[in-house]
Copies of this chain bind each other. A is one copy, B any other.
Amino acid sequence: MVEVRTGSTGSLDAVAPHELAAKPMRADAQRNHERILQAAEEIFALDGVMVPIDIVAERAGVGIGTLYRHFPTKESLYEAIVLTRLNELLRVADDAIDDAEAEPGAALDAFLREFARQASEKQDLFEALGQAGVDIKSRFAERVDELMSRIDTLRQRAVESGAIRSDVETSDILNLIMGTCHAAGHSRADEQGLQRLVSIVIAGIQPTSPM
């Protein structure tokens, strides 16, 4: 018995789900799908993934049943949101890598700051990344690996140019930035406070300090 899932093709179509479906969604369904995504984006960003699903439905102006029609599981909704965010980060990393003008140290610096800004702004993203290390089977693992490898590229270049020490691993950098976001999120730190912490981390990985 094969279930034909009309509309959403599964749970990987974070973008324009109706445009590639065999049978186009009904107008109201399509509208609701978007509303749910937007509501989830806002709420997950602010409160993290722990928020009850009803809250999302309410904010989207939609019944719970409707939400579940579009996303068969809370996790599937979570995935849709976070994958979008990871893709955004990947784009930022790619831009940093492709920018031939920038010098390696500055490129890494700028990327890390943007990374920190996004991770601290989107609670959900932060949580996803924070647990990526543990939960290998996570649906995000692949994208996170891609992201890591981009960051590693930036790091290597920075090392070669002498901007940062060579004994610092990419995972160290990631951990420190993520940790910084965590701390900044839990105290009432603002954007400025966060960037100050990031500055300290960046200073910490530079070669100057004679140890």
Contact = CB atoms under 8 A, between A and B. Distances in A.
B203 A175 contact: no
Contact of A172 (B181, B182, B200): B200
Interface string A165-200: 000100110111011111110111100010011011
B196 A172 contact: yes
Contacts of A168: 200
B204 A202 contact: yes
A205 interface: yes
Contacts of A187: 133-134, 171, 175
Given A175-B187, A180-B176, A180-B179, A208 B210 contact: yes
A206 interface: yes
A131 interface: yes
Copy number in the complex reads: 2
A130 interface: yes
A152 to B, nearest CB: 15
Contacts of A203: 203-205, 209, 211
A174 B203 CA distance: 17
Contact of A182 (B182, B202, B205): B182
A161 B38 CA distance: 53
Contact of A134 (B131, B134, B186): B186
Contacts of A204: 200-205
A210 B210 CA distance: 13
Given A133-B186, A176-B180, A186-B131, A205 B200 contact: yes
A210 B208 CA distance: 8
Given A203-B204, A211-B203, A175 B197 contact: yes
14 contacts: A134-B186, A134-B187, A134-B188, A168-B200, A172-B197, A175-B187, A176-B180, A179-B181, A179-B197, A182-B183, A203-B203, A203-B204, A203-B209, A208-B210
Interface of A: 130-131, 133-134, 168, 171-172, 174-176, 178-184, 186-189, 193, 196-197, 199-206, 208-211
